[in-house]
A and B are shown apart, each in its own frame.
Chain A
């Protein structure tokens, strides 16, 4: 199995996931159901996480098919550019969905301004994702191209946005060091908060309630956001040094699992009920310990990109 298989496996999730998540979200607004709201936000957040390996595996698939007969490079680039735009909106939607879940935990409701933002972003993202999927289908399905009158000769591309961004990242000498520095600042912000929360759940500083530390989670989310943006810029800059790198695969897999883990601490009742001086139940301790292992693993695999893999 290679990245082409993974891309084929994952590439329908963002579109179908957004139809399901967006549909549930609309239904939750119509019926004013809090349970549905939370469920739909979890779906939207989950899909925004799945979108990361979906986008990245696309470059692996591109690498595998670009020299096959009948494959148009311009169609691939158009799909890549459209996917990058859709990915950006999807991550924004995921960020506001997470914020909604965090707000729901603290306020027992999601503020109406955030519901409006999520609704608009979800609809726009769904449209962009449908467009990216359609462009993706055109690469291998001549019958769609023919029905839409698309010429596949090189140079007919409206896209190439991802390559434009990539060239900007690699050509501007200040770009890579800026992203690298911000990546470390984001990591420090993220791990600083995550380890604080995890250590409390494991029994350190028991006098502090979980709710007090839960308040800090948006700082970790902002750190994660900085890392997604800068990490994607690295990837779009030189995808070739990541798509054949085993250390990078492990890093992305652990980021996915750590994201799921973060959901536990954001929405589940068990840790939220942890008052000052109270001992956490086993499941919460297991989640905290696994979060620490996963984030250390993410850091390790990131550092080992040039040593276990072939980057730089």
Chain B
């Protein structure tokens, strides 16, 4: 049985949200470590 529209939109929103959160976290780790490396 196909997913209802509301469920499809929920999936899209959650996937986008989680991907953005993970991306920001990984980018923040990269930047802060690179900054520390430059300092030392």
Contacts and interface: CB of A to CB of B under 8 A. Distances in A.
Interface of A: 99, 103, 106-108, 111, 173-174, 177-178, 181-182, 185, 189, 215, 218-219, 222-223, 225-226
Query: Which secondary structure dominates chain A's binding surface?
Result: helix
A219 B28 CA distance: 11
21 contacts: A103-B33, A107-B33, A173-B4, A173-B7, A174-B8, A174-B10, A174-B14, A177-B3, A177-B11, A178-B18, A181-B11, A181-B15, A189-B22, A215-B30, A215-B34, A218-B26, A219-B30, A222-B25, A223-B22, A226-B18, A226-B22
Contacts of A103: 33
A224 to B, nearest CB: 11
B33 A106 contact: yes
B10 to A, nearest CB: 4
Contact of A107 (B18, B25, B40): B40
B10 A178 contact: yes
A99 B26 CA distance: 11
A222 B26 contact: yes
A222 B21 CA distance: 10
B15 A182 contact: yes
Contacts of A107: 33, 36-37, 40
